[in-house]
């Protein structure tokens, strides 16, 4: 939806004049490599998308945050003095959680009227929740800073990512890592982020696709991280780390353990399931390092092979893919011009990401889409997205 249309919709809901409406934005993300490594203290390699959450916002003198969305009939009002009370909302709990955590951290939360317009598909594994959280946090900090006379050029985007993560864990109940919120807050056009999830040190790596495109395929399988096995996987990794620390006491995260150390000490893991979870995390972290090196040297072929190995590991060792994701990847790999294909996001449904030669993109979408519908019974959606910027106010 164009910005003028968003503003007109805002006025239809809330009244007022267009000149008083401001626009804030944060993107979804695609993770190019490093799945389920972030909460294990490993490396990840995400990129912000041009698919985004846009908030039309207007400050008010009230003690209420009013929420609406362009694609939902729901209207929600949050009492600023009781922000702890909205965890069970069907829609609006992410916004309430961000406002609550920011309030706990000392921000002066303003009353405001808000209209959300999302181009990030919900439940697809492209971090629509992080886009909502980070856009909300950026907007609320902007308003808070203006109350206190603080220059908004000094907004700490890493802090906003941490606040958004806290909101998802403590308020929405998803025991997530930092990757989604970090990439939404700090994304950079034309670059992926090589992020160390232990200390949040990071490096922007240019992505030179030349005659290739990033094609995202959505399984359209409905899922919810709260009800999936996401938290179960995290608990299994905690068990693996505890057992490996008996022989590697200095390791604080699975992601700190090298492949060589794992091969030497994996015998201490007490069952096959725990061993498989640890093996995925440790080798996946290693694949991130190798992927960054490959892309820096322009070796897209090696990067594609690493993508394929990543998906195989997520399928066989971490067991988070499922028939829908595996079907999309299998059909993608059959096609000439596909450099690599893997699931992206938490899994259990969601999306795949493929690197596809530009002149076969249309054929890729048609052929893979038809095969998927034939095998699964319903259609997949496809998106060709550029790599975009992180959170900002749209001027």
pLDDT by residue (tens digit) across 193-231? 999 999 999 999 999 888 999 999 999 987 655 456 878
For residue 37, give the nearest of 176, 229, 223 by alpha carbon. Answer: 176
Q: For residue 359, is pLDDT > 60?
A: yes
What are the pLDDT digits (tens) for 219-270? 998 765 545 687 899 999 999 999 999 999 999 999 999 999 999 999 999 9
Q: What CATH architecture is 212-384?
A: 2-Layer Sandwich (3.30)
Domains 3-206+388-394 and 212-384 alike in fold: no
Task: State whether CATH 3.30.230.10 applies to domain 3-206+388-394.
Answer: yes
Return the minimum-mean-pLDDT range out of 19-33, 120-134, 196-210: 120-134
**What is the distance between the alpha carbons of residues 271 and 268, in angstroms, rounded to a whole number?**
9
Q: What is the domain partition of the chain in residue ranges?
A: 3-206+388-394, 212-384
Does 359 qualify as catalytic in the annotation? no
Active-site annotation holder among 117, 118, 180, 286: 180
Identify the pLDDT of residue 223: 64
DSSP H or E run through 354: strand 351-357
Q: Does the structure show a pLDDT above 90 at 323?
A: yes
pLDDT, average across residues 153-164 = 93
Checking if the pLDDT of 281 tops 60, the result is yes
The whole-number pLDDT of residue 153 equals: 80
* Torsion over CA: 192, 347, 336, 292 (sign): positive
91-to-34, 121, 122 alpha-carbon distances in Å: 29, 15, 12
Strand partners, 116: 55, 69
């Amino acid at each position: 939806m164009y910005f003028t249309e968003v503003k007109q919709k805002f006025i239809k809901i809330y009244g007022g004049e267009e000149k008083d409406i401001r626009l804030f934005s944060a993107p979804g993300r695609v993770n190019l490599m490093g799945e389920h490594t972030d909460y294990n203290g490993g490396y990840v390699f995400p990129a912000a998308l041009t698919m985004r959450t846009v908030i039309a916002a207007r400050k008010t003198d009230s003690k209420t945050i009013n929420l609406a969305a362009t694609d939902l009939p729901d209207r929600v009002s949050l009492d600023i003095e009781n922000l702890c009370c909205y965890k069970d909302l069907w829609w609006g709990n992410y916004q309430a959680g961000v406002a609550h955590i920011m309030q706990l951290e000392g921000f002066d939360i303003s009353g405001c009227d808000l209209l959300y317009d999302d181009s990030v598909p919900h439940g697809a594994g492209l971090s629509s929740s992080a886009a909502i959280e980070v856009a909300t946090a950026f907007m609320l900090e902007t308003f808070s800073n203006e109350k206190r006379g603080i220059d908004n050029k000094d907004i700490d985007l890493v802090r906003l990512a941490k606040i958004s993560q806290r909101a998802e864990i403590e308020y929405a109940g998803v025991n997530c890592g930092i990757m989604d919120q970090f990439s939404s807050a700090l994304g950079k056009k034309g670059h992926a982020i090589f992020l160390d999830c232990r200390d949040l040190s990071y490096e922007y790596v240019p992505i030179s696709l030349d005659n290739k495109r990033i094609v995202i395929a959505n399984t359209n399988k409905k899922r919810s991280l709260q009800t999936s096995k996401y938290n179960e996987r995290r608990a299994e990794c905690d068990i693996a780390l505890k057992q490996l620390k008996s022989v590697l006491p200095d390791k604080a995260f699975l992601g700190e353990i090298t492949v060589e150390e794992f091969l030497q000490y994996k015998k201490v893991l007490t069952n096959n399931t725990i061993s498989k979870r640890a093996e995925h995390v440790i080798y996946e972290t290693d694949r991130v390092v190798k992927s960054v090196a490959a892309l820096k040297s322009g070796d897209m072929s090696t990067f594609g092979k690493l993508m394929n190995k990543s998906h195989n590991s997520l399928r066989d060792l971490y067991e988070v893919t499922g028939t829908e994701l595996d079907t999309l990847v299998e059909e993608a790999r059959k096609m000439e011009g596909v450099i690599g294909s893997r699931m992206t996001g938490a899994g259990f449904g969601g999306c795949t990401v493929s690197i596809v030669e530009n002149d076969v993109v249309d054929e890729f979408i048609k052929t893979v889409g038809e095969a998927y519908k034939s095998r699964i019974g319903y259609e997949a959606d496809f998106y060709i997205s550029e790599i975009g910027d992180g959170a900002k106010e749209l001027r």
